[in-house]
Amino acid sequence: MKRMDRRPTIIDVANTAGVSKSTVSLVLQNSPLVREETRALIRDAMAALGYVYNRSAANLRSANAGLIGLVINDLRNPFFTEFATSLQMALSVRGYATIIANTDEHPRVQATVVGAMIEHGVSAFIISPAYSDTNAAFEATAPFEAIKRAGIPTMQVLRKVDPRTDIFPFAGPDYAAGGRIATGHMLATGAQRVAFVGGLDGRPITQERMAGYLAALAAVDKTPFVVTGRATRSFGHETALRLTKEHPDVDAVLCFNDQVALGMLSGFAVAGRRVGPDVRVVGFDGIEECAEAFPTLSSVDCGITTFGQAIAATVLSWLENQTAPPPETRTPVELIIRDSSGR
Amino acid sequence: MKRMDRRPTIIDVANTAGVSKSTVSLVLQNSPLVREETRALIRDAMAALGYVYNRSAANLRSANAGLIGLVINDLRNPFFTEFATSLQMALSVRGYATIIANTDEHPRVQATVVGAMIEHGVSAFIISPAYSDTNAAFEATAPFEAIKRAGIPTMQVLRKVDPRTDIFPFAGPDYAAGGRIATGHMLATGAQRVAFVGGLDGRPITQERMAGYLAALAAVDKTPFVVTGRATRSFGHETALRLTKEHPDVDAVLCFNDQVALGMLSGFAVAGRRVGPDVRVVGFDGIEECAEAFPTLSSVDCGITTFGQAIAATVLSWLENQTAPPPETRTPVELIIRDSSGR
DNA sequence: CTGAAAGCGCTTACAG
DNA sequence: CTGAAAGCGCTTACAG
């Protein structure tokens, strides 16, 4: 085994194997043009030298870095963590690395990280975009403009922020159906007054999840009762306390997401109301923790792990076979009924 | 504004600005050699052309990709999510992108992703390594061998798996101190029988956290009571049920981590034991959720967000000033006392 | 199937 | 302070 101070290149491999560097390059790309015998020879030489493929060099010539950019609005929320993780692992299996960034809902941070990823030559983007504040609309769309200019295949997932789904196809769970099913379930088990809690007012996701809720109530001629707010545990906790005091007639709650629902679980516990028998609670997202909460939490399961894997497949097929995904894909959701909704 | 079908290069910029491409390159690197006037001229040309820096090309010549590899054993655990996120955001601010991978505790996956990151030319690694199974020791060390061969600066964080801390410096919270303080706290509030629950037997982290517990008990001549197991909510939940039934004399529990502790919270709730008044529970890690659980969870706070930022600073200083970190760094932990330990 | 040559977009000495 | 030239490690036609 030869030793060298610098990293060996395909030229070193070619020399030890006694072929030209073109042949080595072909082997690297699994080209069928090279005889099996030669291929083995080259593989041996690579192993002996400790050769490592240099993707920067390859990318410079052929512009396919094998790098995917993943931009997430809130990576600390388990829903997005589960998505990011399943996506990253699926990409890894297919030989793609993931460059990731959390934007924490800041359009400005989003613009920065997207710019950095373009510099790194990512082959595609998968973005769960930050919403723009009313006066930051420019910042929110700037990254999409930059991506468009660079001509990089890009999917919007989970949230649709840029309306141009012909260029930036969207895929997400069928939130409206989830809201409808969950509300219907609580009504069917005898709920008289169903509230909708959490989710910032006016945002598309809030509207979609709420739309299903409103439709289900309208179908049975009941009046909606909506408390919008941040999608956090603390907001859920506080709202549970407030509802107990000010609106004791509310006997069922559809939460904007599981975080809010988990907060309500602890809020109602403090307030002395039993979740399940006294008040029904249903979450939204279907994070793993639902099954381990007390009481166990009913939730609209978006199948996020499967969703992440599906997105990986869709993007790679776009990249490798030029089959662009449809402008909009909605994946089915499923209500998982547990103790919190009075099973 | 000129339009072109391919991405503009520094040559295009040089031509529009009326300088040579070397000058453009110097501006790109913020070299002080270029006159402010010329600099402005070039910046204008870049803006007009929509120039985007090509890091693959730069990296090919100078081997500094501005890419950091982050390898995490369990990215779905909020403790690691908080770490990864704070690290990524700190790196981003300093102009570095993060390429990330979850290994899910599989040494084989770890070997694969580390190899991929080396191919992408990462400038440094930050690894919270997977433990090797007894018979997979080779696979667990293989990635470290590959990194050593490639000569890439690498830190082990949170877990020390490769003993060669001279090459792979380690940084992590002072787990032993945390165990000691938490156990002392429960004894001080009157606990008679303190159990240690969770953490796989024989693993270094388990041993460290347990060591503090054992020391604190030994100091007051009490017998330890240890239930090792997976560090999950379900294990905590089940163990709470079992302890209630089989060992009702246990009136305090130090948990291996917050996941186990949160599981015990719901387990004791099911069993009808009031956490706080009837049985003290203290977690470990200090994830955000502790403050929002019911009851609120006391925990040994490892300050993971600050830790992530510190690691970012350490690694960048290693990269930019060649100041290698000390072989082993232990950061202080702090016990946060909340309702679960009978405040 | 294999080899010789050009070129991807930068950076890096080296002159001036 | 700025310019001309070489080269980083690959891939890609093009011959043979």
- Within 13 Å of residue A93, how many CA atoms lie on the same side as its CB? 8
Q: Which of A50, A60, A102 sits opposite B85 (nearest CB)?
A: A102
**What residues 252-271 of chain B have any CB closer than 8 A to a CB of chain A?**
262-263, 265-267, 269-270
**Smallest CA–C1' separation from A61: which nucleotide?**
C8
N-terminal to C-terminal alpha carbon distance within chain A: 67
Helical ranges in A121-232 per DSSP H: 137-150, 175-188, 204-219
> How many residue contacts between A and B have a Cβ separation below 8 Å?
151
Distances (CA, A) of B236 to A244, B176, B228, B229: 30, 21, 10, 9
For residues B74 and B287, what is the distance between their CA atoms, to the nearest angstrom? 14
Phi-psi region of B15 (alpha: psi -120 to 50; beta: other; left: phi over 0): alpha
Quickly give A30 CA vs C2 C1' distance in Å.
Answer: 16
Question: For residue A3, what pLDDT is reported?
Answer: 43
- Say if CB A134 and CB A146 are below 8 A apart: no
- Say if CB A288 and CB A134 are below 8 A apart: no
Condensed to tens digits (0 to 9), the pLDDT of residues A216-242 reads: 999 999 999 999 999 999 999 999 999
Amino acid at B188: A
Is strand D in 7 Å reach of the CB of A30?
A: no
For residues B330 and B85, what is the distance between their CA atoms, to the nearest angstrom? 21
Residue B67 has pLDDT above 90, yes or no: yes
∠ CA A235-A306-B110, nearest 5°, is 95
Token couple for B44? 């204008």
Quickly give A259 CA vs C6 C1' distance in Å.
Answer: 58
Question: For residue B34, what pLDDT is reported?
Answer: 85
Report residue B35 CA to chain centroid gap.
43
Taking residues B194-209, report their average pLDDT.
95
Quickly give B65 CA vs D1 C1' distance in Å.
Answer: 28
Amino acid at B11: I
Token couple for A270? 């403090």
Residues of B in contact with A262 (CB under 8 A): 292
- What is the rounded average pLDDT for all residues in chain B? 93
Taking residues A127-133, report their average pLDDT.
89
Binary contact (B97, A88; C-beta < 8 A): no
Q: Is the dihedral of CA A286, A288, A291, A295 positive or negative?
A: negative
Distances (CA, A) of A163 to A70, A145, A153, A170: 19, 12, 16, 9
Distances (CA, A) of A35 to A23, A24, A42, A49, A119: 10, 12, 11, 21, 38
Taking residues B11-39, report their average pLDDT.
88
Question: For residue B134, what pLDDT is reported?
Answer: 60
Integer-rounded Cα Rg, in Å, for chain B is 25
**What residues 150-189 of chain A have any CB closer than 8 A to a CB of chain B?**
150
Condensed to tens digits (0 to 9), the pLDDT of residues A54-63 reads: 998 998 888 7
Confidence of residue A32 (pLDDT cuts 50, 70, 90): confident
For residues A290 and B266, what is the distance between their CA atoms, to the nearest angstrom? 12
Question: For residue B33, what pLDDT is reported?
Answer: 83
Residue B1 has pLDDT above 70, yes or no: no
Q: What is the DSSP string of A240-298?
A: HHHHHHH-TT--EEEESSHHHHHHHHHHHHHHTPPBTTTBEEEEEE--GGGGGSSSPPE
Q: Which residues 6+ apart lie within 8 Å of B134 measured at CB?
A: none
Determine which of B21-35, B224-238, B274-288 has the lowest per-residue pLDDT on average: B21-35
Question: For residue B139, what pLDDT is reported?
Answer: 72
Token couple for B120? 């992408």
- Say if CB A244 and CB A271 are below 8 A apart: yes
Total residue count of chain B as it appears in this document: 343
DSSP secondary structure code for residue A106 in this structure: -
Quickly give A20 CA vs D15 C1' distance in Å.
Answer: 15
Determine which of B141-155, B211-225, B247-261, B275-289 has the lowest per-residue pLDDT on average: B141-155
For residues A283 and A286, what is the distance between their CA atoms, to the nearest angstrom? 7
Amino acid at B82: E
Question: For residue B137, what pLDDT is reported?
Answer: 67
Integer-rounded Cα Rg, in Å, for chain A is 25
| Phi, psi angle pair for B252, to nearest 5° | -160, 145
Identify any residues that bridge with A300 across adjacent strands, giving them in sequence order: A284, A335
- Within 13 Å of residue B49, how many CA atoms lie on the same side as its CB? 23
Taking residues A33-48, report their average pLDDT.
89
pTM (2 d.p.): 0.94
- Percentage of residues of chain B with pLDDT beyond 90: 81
Closest CA to A256 of A218, A289, A284, A226: A284
Residues of A in contact with B84 (CB under 8 A): 75
For residues B114 and B152, what is the distance between their CA atoms, to the nearest angstrom? 11
Residue B3 has pLDDT above 60, yes or no: no
**Smallest CA–C1' separation from A58: which nucleotide?**
D10
Residue B5 has pLDDT above 70, yes or no: no
For residues A35 and A114, what is the distance between their CA atoms, to the nearest angstrom? 42
Closest CA to A279 of A240, A234, A225: A240
B65 touches A at CB < 8 Å: yes
Closest CA to B316 of B149, B57, B93, B134: B93
Binary contact (B65, A56; C-beta < 8 A): yes
Label residues B47-58 b or e (16+ Cβ within 10 Å = b). Answer: eebbbbebbbbb
Q: Taking CA atoms, what residue in B is nearest to A101?
A: B88
Residues of B in contact with A231 (CB under 8 A): none
SS3 category, A334 = strand
Binary contact (A113, B92; C-beta < 8 A): yes
Residue B315 has pLDDT above 60, yes or no: yes
Confidence of residue A184 (pLDDT cuts 50, 70, 90): very high
Confidence of residue A104 (pLDDT cuts 50, 70, 90): very high
N-terminal to C-terminal alpha carbon distance within chain B: 67
- Say if CB A178 and CB A335 are below 8 A apart: yes
Closest-CA distance of chain A to residue B308, Å: 14
Residue B169 has pLDDT above 50, yes or no: yes
Determine which of A214-218, A295-299, B46-50 has the lowest per-residue pLDDT on average: B46-50
∠ CA B291-B292-B298, nearest 5°, is 35
Binary contact (B119, A53; C-beta < 8 A): yes
Question: For residue A136, what pLDDT is reported?
Answer: 62
Residue B211 has pLDDT above 70, yes or no: yes
Q: Of A123-127, A339-343, B16-20, B57-61, which one has max mean pLDDT?
A: A123-127
- A35 vs A115, higher pLDDT: A115
B40 touches A at CB < 8 Å: no
Binary contact (A112, B92; C-beta < 8 A): yes
Q: Which residues 6+ apart lie within 8 Å of A135 measured at CB?
A: none
Is strand D in 7 Å reach of the CB of A21?
A: yes
